[in-house]
Structure 1
């Protein structure tokens, strides 16, 4: 592009005649560049729009759409999928003890640690507050449990430096449920949420799989 522009400019400045073919080629290249810039701008805006600015996780705007796409694949027997709800343990205590600025550091560091343990096709959404939802496509409940346990153990082994005397050790509680072809996405989320609260009651920093007794 730059070479074409320089060639045309040199021709014009030396009194030469720019051929219609060269001029049309330059205009076409300029139009292609303009379209590429617009496409990049749109993709960047969509990425920023769909990401939570604090944690870098996907926000809830596209969450239900993504989960419904996965549920449709489950219904067509293309693949199984499961979801996990996760909640930072004793997060209110962190906020009350150290302040909301440290709470934000904990949120961001925890989400970053979780995402470091994800597979390329897993998606993490910030569900609200200190609660996150993980979508694991092409994953049955057994494999989902293994993935979540790897995340939980990695998080528990990590210490978050917030600028204080002693780094904070943060844990999460997890609840897992399949995307059930006989249920709505919202019902599957509710099941994972119930399993997560069972994990809280069990002592926190653990994983529970939803079953009909919950």
Structure 2
């Protein structure tokens, strides 16, 4: 049931994976880094060729911090995205490039001639930096295309490829894996009563809630409409039940802020099915969907296992 209130609650701190906005912000910084360093290299060449005093952002001991990209890297060095090995490599290339440029700019200013091999070494470092930026740009664009633009979780196209890999791994290693389909109860009421913008906000906030309340190695996908799918590796259906039941209960007690004056409380129904050796992925998804349908038919705000449905057990409710 949708519960609407007129007073907005204080937003809770949520630790989730990188959002679509965060990925886009990183991509923008990478794109600007190339343009900024082209301009920086031009200033370096002008001072070296024209025998002018090198600019401060070339010869300073902290030149790698004086450019916007270096300052951004330093500011965000504790961020999970920037802590990845690819960014540490980029940071090292960035520092080395600036160090080499500083030393060579000072030599060009003081001497009549710069050795060709030293100039070539600097150009190699500039090219290596630009190449690493381009590789990261490509990776982040690919990641962006894998994300659902509204919720920031991975989209259905990505989901199917990921589930095929997980199905193959579970069958090969005989390790358990549970798939869960979640459906927001009475979501149509949100759109009808509060408008589609409020509905979009609900979808985005619930996606964040799911990401922050599942394990780091669990996956969350936008399955379609108001449905999400979870992949829980190393977990069978019966192990998944208490995990998803806690998730269900926590969500039903969570207030979602729509704007400064309105908030809502919602619940979800869940259908759970395990990956089995002799069962195709399509059939397993059907099992989870049928379990979800039974949970909805049983009164909503419930967790239903396919195994329970197969033996005629009642859906698990908030009070059970």
Give the counterpart of 1:104 among 197, 200, 203.
200
Larger radius of gyration: 2
CA distance in 1, matches of 2:245, 2:103: 61
Shift of 1:24: 3.0
Give the count of matched residue pairs: 214
Instruction: Identify the match of residue 244 of structure 2 among 148, 156, 181.
Output: 148
1:75 is matched with which residue? 171
Residue 86 (structure 1) aligned to one of 151, 166, 182: 182
> 1:47-80: CA deviations, max 9, x gaps?
1111112111111121111111111112113521
CA distance in 2, matches of 1:9, 1:170: 63
Is 9-18 or 146-155 further displaced after alignment?
9-18
Paired with 2:174 and 2:204, the residues of 1 have a C-alpha distance of 34
Q: Report the equivalent of 2:138.
A: 42
Query: Is 1:159 aligned to residue 252 of structure 2?
Result: no
In structure 2, C-alpha distance between the alignment counterparts of 1:200 and 1:161, rounded to whole Å: 25
Please, which of 202, 206, 211 is the counterpart of residue 298 of structure 2?
Answer: 202
**Match among 229, 233, 244 for residue 133 of structure 1:** 229
User: Offset at 1:23?
Assistant: 2.1
Q: Is the 8 A contact 1:126 1:133 kept in 2?
A: yes
Contact 1:50–1:59 (8 Å) recurs in 2: yes
**Contact 1:117–1:150 (CA<8 Å) still a contact in 2?**
no
- The aligned counterpart of 2:220 is 124
Match of 2:173, SS state, is: coil
Q: Greater shift after overlay, 128-137 or 71-80?
A: 71-80
Distance in 1 of aligned mates of 2:247 and 2:207:
10
Of 121-130 and 152-161, deviating more is: 152-161
- Following superposition, the deviation at residue 147 of structure 1 comes to 2.0
Q: CA deviation at 1:195?
A: 0.3
Determine the structure 2 residue equivalent to 1:177: 273
Name which of 155, 161, 165 aligns with 1:65.
Answer: 161
Measure how far apart 1:146 and its partner are.
2.1
Deviation at 1:210, TM superposition (A): 0.4
Query: Which runs of 5 or more residues in structure 2 are unaligned?
Result: 1-96, 313-320
Within 2, Cα distance between the matches of 1:197 and 1:25?
65
Runs (5+) with no aligned partner, structure 1: none
Asked if the contact 1:141/1:177 (under 8 Å) is kept, the reply is yes
Residue 150 of structure 1: how far off its partner (Å):
2.1
Tell me whether 201-210 or 179-188 shows the greater mean CA deviation.
179-188
Scaled by the length of structure 2, the TM-score of the pair is 0.64
Q: Distance in 1 between matches of 2:139 and 2:131?
A: 12
